Structure 1
Amino acid sequence: MENGVKPAKIKNIAELARLAGVSAGTVSRALADMSLVNKETRERIQALAREHGFRPNQMARRLRTQRTGVIGVVIPLGHERRQHISDPFFMTLFGYLADELTESGHDLMLSRVIPGDDEWLDRIVDSGMLDGALVIGQSDQSAVIERVAQYYKPLVIWGSHREGQVQCTVGVDNAAGGRLAAQRLLDRGARRLAFFGDTNGPEIADRLAGAQQAVAAMPGATLHDFPTHLASDEMATQISANLDDIGDSVDGIVCASDIIAMTTIRLLHERGISVPDRVAVTGFDDLPLSQRMVPQLTTVRQDIAAGARAMAEALRLRLAGKDAPSTVMTPELIIRESA
């Protein structure tokens, strides 16, 4: 700035090239900090750009590189259409994913999808807006995801693994987690168990199957399945109806998520039923909220932070044209006060 006069703002690379006395290609490479341009020239061009308030057009750069810099994070709600993005599990996982991906220079586009046909995922990945996609949960859309995964490689799913699948999944061993939860109740002496969860999605179905395996191995133990919505605006009503049906017939409840477990404990308390003295309750996820309630929640931990890192790394490999296998994490029983 001379005599207090602010330098004229440069509008494009051509103007900056004329000012620097080099070609537009040299300016483009210098602003990208490429070693093809010698260090002194790079620094001179970058200084001129700063002085004249020039910022390269990101859209043009992305068109040249055939990359958008955007990763889609998709939440399909095929079987639970009233569930919200504000669900604590979604927000916890999304937060960890955002930390991982924004640090590597990506922007995120979040979509909550209620599938109306079998091509909803095709439209997302073929839109030209994304470099890759992360899907949180398979819902009842496993077949759609599997088909798209056969031709679209930069796709990683949070969900259950099935032998022989093409899709790259990251998730906990849900059946093992279900066994852990039910076994904890059995070890405390409970023999009349209930399972609260919506088994239309494969993750919850696996948790129920694991709980059934544990109960089958214990003589005299029983387990009854009570379908329970994941949507917060329906969950309490349905759990209340489940408790009406149960009456005094159960002494342990395996809940398919921490949020279901927290709601169940609240409703039991409102009915004067002590947890865990009369009914022990387990959750699944180990969300931060599980330690902030009374009683603190016994739950099955799926390491959400580690899962987000695994999803981001698998996506990075696939964006680079490399293969990335599925990741199956080991669940951990976290014993607290509710069981």
Structure 2
Amino acid sequence: MNKKYAEPGEGDEEALPRPIRTITDLARVAGVSPGTVSRALAGKSLVNAKTRDRIQALAREHGFQPNQMASALRRQKTGVIGVAIPLGHDRQQQISDSFFMTLLGHLADELTEKGYDLMLRRVIPERDEDWLDRFIRSGIIDGVIVIGQSDQFDRIEEVADGYLPMVVWGNHQEGQRHCVVGADNRLGGRLAAERLIAAGAKRLAFFGDTGPFEFAARYAGARDVAQAMGVSITSVSTHLSPEQTSKEISSFLAEHREEIDGIFAASDSIAFACMQELRKLDIKVPGEIKLVGFDDLPIAKQTLPPLTTIRQDIEAGAHGLVDLLLRRLQGDETESLVMPPRLIVRETA
């Protein structure tokens, strides 16, 4: 015989009790209002202890779990952290870039550990000048992590004036208002140039776009050392989309190969492209050209030869981004976190 759930007023002895799916269902069973149930489940002292305990016991007995999203909306919390990657400096760069994927992996681990979900946006600012404001006002995120300042420094500064729960991966400048986590990029650039010169290089080239603040600081640090040591250094504008990167490196080497004996790549991804183009031209690394990257991505130790690079601790940076953001969600005015870079000597310089 088929069984059915009992409806109010029905006396069928074979009927099963109606399942408890909502606060209204639980209120009916408990004989109280839905508001009382909501307050009791939240542990509010407005409901007397006896009634609160009885309602919570009924909820456990029936395996009732309140709708978490509805609860979050009532609290004006979503449990979601937005992660935005603005690509104003290079719209063809892909978020499958090894650096982004490494940082995003660590961020996902950290946010999951803290009970948050992650919502990712790849942003082309020239298509959406209001990208950051709209993301924040969407009502679907509790706070935002911006990966890279790109050419959006002023936009981020404006938003930081009125929006506390935002932390940015990027370069720190004296007097800036937004909270940043990142390496001391200028020091990293100095370490790279010092290593190249110590390895015997006297004519340096910096591969990278000096528009973004992080890369500009890395070049400035390398230039400081080159000028102090009486060594030449040339800046070669290099994009971060794989196809463009390879073409630009190949074009420069075809015309200026004899003019350089050391390369400082603004990122490990650019350094990997350099190694491929140098190999095509049968230029030995480090025999003919020394090479230093920046990031120390996991693959850096697996290249042939293994890449000498400047390490910024990406895992520690992800931890710092989440820690500072959660503190700012609690209303704290946090300071920026500037991490010391470290030279990792392998075989390319």
Q: What is the TM-score when the length of structure 2 is the normalising length?
A: 0.90
The correspondence for 2:161, drawn from 150, 155, 161, is 150
Mapped pair 1:178 → 2:171: no
CA distance in 1, matches of 2:212, 2:16: 61
CA distance in 1, matches of 2:319, 2:197: 34
CA distance in 2, matches of 1:335, 1:274: 18
The answer for the alignment partner of 1:98 in structure 2 is: 108
Unaligned runs of 5+ in 2: 1-13
The alpha carbon displacement at 1:24 in A equals: 2.9
The superposition leaves residues 84-143 of structure 1 with CA deviations (integer Å, 9 ceiling, x where unpaired) of 111111111111111111211111110000012542211111122211000000000100
The alpha carbon displacement at 1:278 in A equals: 0.7
Kindly report which structure 2 residues correspond to 1:42-191, keeping only aligned pairs within 5 A, or say none. 44-50=57-63, 54-116=64-126, 117-191=128-202
CA distance in 2, matches of 1:257, 1:34: 53
Q: Are the structure 2 counterparts of residues 16 and 74 from structure 1 closer, same or farther at C-alpha, using a change threshold of 3 Å?
A: same
What secondary structure, in the 3-state scheme, does the structure 1 residue paired with 2:259 have? coil
Amino acid at match of 2:283: I
Identity, % of aligned positions: 52
CA distance in 1, matches of 2:15, 2:148: 57
Mapped pair 1:284 → 2:294: yes
Mapped pair 1:215 → 2:226: yes
Question: In 2, are the aligned partners of 1:195 and 1:253 still within 8 Å (CA)?
Answer: yes
The alpha carbon displacement at 1:48 in A equals: 2.9
Question: In 2, are the aligned partners of 1:27 and 1:45 still within 8 Å (CA)?
Answer: no
The alpha carbon displacement at 1:68 in A equals: 1.4
Kindly report which structure 2 residues correspond to 1:236-315, keeping only aligned pairs within 5 A, or say none. 236-315=246-325
Computing the radius of gyration from Cα coordinates, the structure with the larger value is: 2
The answer for the alignment partner of 2:214 in structure 1 is: 203
What secondary structure, in the 3-state scheme, does the structure 1 residue paired with 2:328 have? helix
CA distance in 1, matches of 2:169, 2:232: 31
The alpha carbon displacement at 1:265 in A equals: 0.8
The alpha carbon displacement at 1:32 in A equals: 4.5
What secondary structure, in the 3-state scheme, does the structure 2 residue paired with 1:44 have? helix
The superposition leaves residues 148-177 of structure 1 with CA deviations (integer Å, 9 ceiling, x where unpaired) of 110111010000111111100111010000
The alpha carbon displacement at 1:77 in A equals: 0.4
Q: Are the structure 2 counterparts of residues 30 and 286 from structure 1 closer, same or farther at C-alpha, using a change threshold of 3 Å?
A: farther
CA distance in 2, matches of 1:212, 1:7: 78
The alpha carbon displacement at 1:22 in A equals: 4.6
Q: Are the structure 2 counterparts of residues 30 and 277 from structure 1 closer, same or farther at C-alpha, using a change threshold of 3 Å?
A: farther
Amino acid at match of 1:138: Q
Q: How many pairs are equivalent?
A: 333
Question: In 1, are the aligned partners of 2:30 and 2:55 still within 8 Å (CA)?
Answer: no
CA RMSD of aligned residues (A): 2.1
Moved more, 57-66 or 24-33: 24-33
Q: What is the TM-score when the length of structure 1 is the normalising length?
A: 0.92
The alpha carbon displacement at 1:7 in A equals: 6.0
The answer for the alignment partner of 1:15 in structure 2 is: 25
CA distance in 2, matches of 1:327, 1:144: 20
CA distance in 2, matches of 1:26, 1:278: 78
Q: Are the structure 2 counterparts of residues 32 and 232 from structure 1 closer, same or farther at C-alpha, using a change threshold of 3 Å?
A: farther
Amino acid at match of 1:242: F
CA distance in 2, matches of 1:246, 1:321: 54
Amino acid at match of 2:57: R
CA distance in 2, matches of 1:180, 1:73: 30
What secondary structure, in the 3-state scheme, does the structure 2 residue paired with 1:164 have? coil
Amino acid at match of 2:93: Q
